Amino acid sequence: MITLYGNEFSSPSNKVRYVANALGIEYEYKHVDLMGGANKTESYLKLNPSGKVPVIQDGDFTLFESNAIIRYLARKVSSSLYPQDLKRGALVDQWMDFASLHVAQAVGRVFFNRVAYKFLNAEVDPRSLSDGLQFLQRFLPVLEGALAKSAFLAGPELSLADFSLLAGLDQAEVAGIELEVYPALSQWRKELIAKDFYQKCFSSYAAMLHALTQKAS
Ligand SMILES: N[C@@H](CCC(=O)N[C@@H](CS)C(=O)NCC(=O)O)C(=O)O
C-alpha cells in the first residue's frame, strides 16, 4: 500500500489525498508534525531532502512534489484525470502549472501574512502580502473566464488541474480572500467540495483550519 506523508495545513498534501481518494487508491496517511520539526529529522530528509510535505512511498519508490505525485497516481491506474492524448494532457499541465505557480502560491502568501505568521512566530512581510493580493486580482479573473466557458478547468472533463486548483484555494476563507465575486469559480468549487473525495478529508476545510489555528494561537 502507498504511504503518504502529509500535513492537514498543507494544500499540496491535501491535493494528493483528494486525488488518491478520487482514484480509489488506498494509502496509509502519516501526519508529519511540521511545527514540531518532524520534517527536519535525518530519516525524513532521506525521503525528501528539502524537508517538505507531501512525499509518497510506493514500495521502494519514493516521490515528492505534489504535482509529480498526482500525475504518478493517475498514470498508475491509467486514469482519464490525466489524459493520454497529447493536447488534452498538455492543457491539463497548463492549468496545473497555472493553479500551482500563480494561484496557490498567491493564496499561500496571503494566508501566511494574515493568519499563519501568528502561530509560526514569524514576521509579516507586507510586500509579500500585497504581491499575493495583486496576483489574485490578476489571476482569479482568468480562472473565472475559463470556468465560465467549460465545466472544468481543462475542458468538459474533470482533470488533475481541478484538484490542483481546488487544494490551492482551500485557505481562501480563512485568509479572507473573497471568491463569491467569481460566480463560475464559486459554483465549480462548491460542487467539488461536496464530492466524496473531498468529504473523506474535510467536511469543511475552513472549519478544520479555523479549529486548528485557534488551538495553535
Ligand atoms: N512544490 C511543493 C510544495 C511543498 C510545500 O511547500 N510544503 C510545505 C507545506 S505547504 C512544507 O512542507 N513546508 C515545511 C518547510 O518548508 O519546512 C509541492 O507541491 O509538493
Q: Decide whether any atom of ligand 1 lies within 6 Å of the 105 Cβ.
A: no
Residue 81 included in any domain: no
Cβ of 173 closer than 6 Å to ligand 1, yes or no, is no
- Domain contains 97: yes
User: Do 112 and 212 lie in a common domain?
Assistant: yes
**Cα dihedral 208→180→137→171 (10° resolution):** 0
Q: Which residue's alpha carbon is nearest to atom 14 within ligand 1?
A: 52
Domain match, 65 and 146 both:
no
Band of residue 213 on the pLDDT scale cut at 50, 70, 90: low
Which residue's alpha carbon is nearest to atom 6 within ligand 1?
A: 52
What confidence score (pLDDT) does residue 215 get? 65
Q: Are residues 166 and 195 in the same domain?
A: yes
Relative to the CA of 34, which ligand 1 atom is closest?
A: 14
Indicate whether 19 pLDDT > 60: yes
The rounded distance, in Å, linking the Cα atoms of 211 and 13 is: 19
Based on the fold, state whether residues 26 and 91 are members of the same structural domain: no
- Inter-axis angle of helices 160-168 and 11-23, to 10 degrees? 140
Q: What is the mean pLDDT of residues 44-50?
A: 97
Please report whether residue 143 resides in a domain.
yes
On whether both 68 and 110 belong to a single domain, the answer is: no
- Residues 125 and 153 reside in one and the same domain: yes
Average pLDDT over residues 74-101: 98
**Unique residue bearing C-alpha cell 496509509:** 28
Q: Residue 2: is its pLDDT beyond 60?
A: yes
Q: Are residues 51 and 117 in the same domain?
A: no
Q: Are residues 122 and 146 in the same domain?
A: yes
Q: Which of 21, 41, 76 is the last residue of a domain?
A: 76
pLDDT over threshold 60, residue 51: yes
Decide if 197 contacts 27 (C-beta within 8 A). no
Ligand 1 binding pocket includes 140 (Cβ within 6 Å): no
Tens digit of pLDDT for each residue in 109-125?
Answer: 999 999 989 888 899 99
pLDDT at 96: 98
Can you name the residues that pair with 63 across neighbouring β-strands?
56
* Distance from Cα 156 to the centre of ligand 1, integer Å: 30
Q: Is 34 close to ligand 1, i.e. is its CB under 6 Å away?
A: yes
- Tell me which of 35, 56, 76 is where a domain ends: 76
> In the chain, what percentage of residues exceed pLDDT 90?
89
The CATH number that applies at residue 180 is: 1.20.1050.10
Q: Whose CA is nearest to atom 2 of ligand 1?
A: 65
Nearest CA to ligand 1 atom 12: 52
Which domain does 49 fall in, by range? 2-76
At CA 63, angle to CA 60 and CA 65, rounded to 5?
Answer: 170
Residue 93 has pLDDT above 70, yes or no: yes
Q: Are residues 30 and 67 both part of a single domain?
A: yes
Residue 1 pLDDT level (bands cut at 50, 70, 90) = very high
67 and 90, same domain (yes or no): no
**Helix 183-193 and helix 126-149, axial crossing angle in degrees, nearest 10:** 90
pLDDT at 91: 98
Each residue of 162-173: pLDDT tens digit?
999 999 999 999
Cα separation values, 30 from 64, 151, 205, 211, Å: 14, 34, 19, 20
Cβ neighbours of 52 (radius 10 Å): 20
Overall average pLDDT of the 150-160 stretch: 98
Final residue of a structural domain among 76, 98, 126: 76
End-to-end alpha-carbon separation of the chain, Å? Answer: 36
pLDDT at 50 over 70: yes
The number of folded domains in the chain is 2
Instruction: Tell me the CATH number at 37.
Output: 3.40.30.10
pTM for this model (two decimals): 0.95
Mean pLDDT for 100-115 is 96
Looking at the structure, do residues 92 and 182 belong to the same domain, yes or no?
yes
Distance from the alpha carbon of residue 56 to the mean position of ligand 1, in angstroms: 13
- Give the whole-angstrom CA distance, residue 194 versus residue 87: 29
Cα distance between residue 17 and residue 201, in whole Å: 8
Mean pLDDT of 175-195: 97
Ligand 1 pocket, 51 CB below 6 A?
yes
Q: Is 53 in the pocket of ligand 1 (CB under 6 A)?
A: yes
Grid cell of 17 as nine digits: 489525498
pLDDT of residue 39: 96
Helix, strand, or coil (residue 81):
coil
Is 31 a domain residue?
yes
| Mean pLDDT, the chain, whole residue set | 95
Q: Which three cell numbers mark 114?
A: 494574515
Q: Are residues 127 and 188 in the same domain?
A: yes
